[in-house]
Amino acid sequence: MAQMFPRSNAFLGILVFTVSVSTAVAPEISREQGDSLARKIDAINENANAKFATPKRTWITELEVNSYLAFNIKEKIPRGLTQPQIRMVGNGQLAGRVLVDMDDFRRGRSSGGIMDPMNYISGQVPVTARGVFSTQDGKGQFQLITAEMNGYPLPKPLVQELVRYFSRTANNPTGFNIDEAFNLPAKIREIRVNPAESIVVQ
């Protein structure tokens, strides 16, 4: 059976944190747009699990993704992350923004001592980032371009630590490694990121 295109924390582990924006998302998000994406995800899974899966392209808009995050799976977003926002820049580039509860994060990690900058940050802090999402032959890879925390540059090792912490699941207790390629779910062969929309190719 094909791996399901998840409607859970596994979806967020890759999506919410590895694509984090420096610009605000348009305010037109709605339950209707979120439900539209939920139906598209169901259709992608149904096609993947069909006895004879057919070549299929599904258009997913930036508005649908942000509505889905805000309404449909808000309760499944990992604890410590709030208000995730995604922007599809185009040419494979994704950007986004999420509020990170640094107190929650610090409780789950070992301190690096007095020189550890994370020891001096508390409360909910905006983390933004931009990167390139490339896919081919059922594999995906994310390349981080830049990241900031509260407006200050965030080194890649700290980005990785945050990603690993908040993307942990029962099946993947070490979390997501942003440097590693990964298998796309639901017999997806490619995802093309265009301005304000993406095309899922099965």
187 assigned to some structural domain = yes
94 assigned to some structural domain = yes
Between 54-63, 74-83, 109-118, the lowest mean confidence (pLDDT) is in: 109-118
Whether the pLDDT of residue 9 is over 90: the answer is: no
Sign of CA dihedral 162, 123, 83, 27: negative
Partners of residue 191 on adjacent β-strands:
200
Q: How many domains does one find in the chain?
A: 1
Q: Which of these, 39, 11, 17, lies nearest to 142 by C-alpha position?
A: 17
4 assigned to some structural domain = no
127 assigned to some structural domain = yes
3 assigned to some structural domain = no
User: Which tokens belong to 9?
Assistant: 């924390």
33 assigned to some structural domain = yes
- The band of 6, judged by pLDDT with boundaries at 50, 70 and 90, is low
pLDDT of residue 8: 43
44 assigned to some structural domain = yes
- Domain residues for the domain of 35 are 9-201
Whether the pLDDT of residue 65 is over 70: the answer is: yes
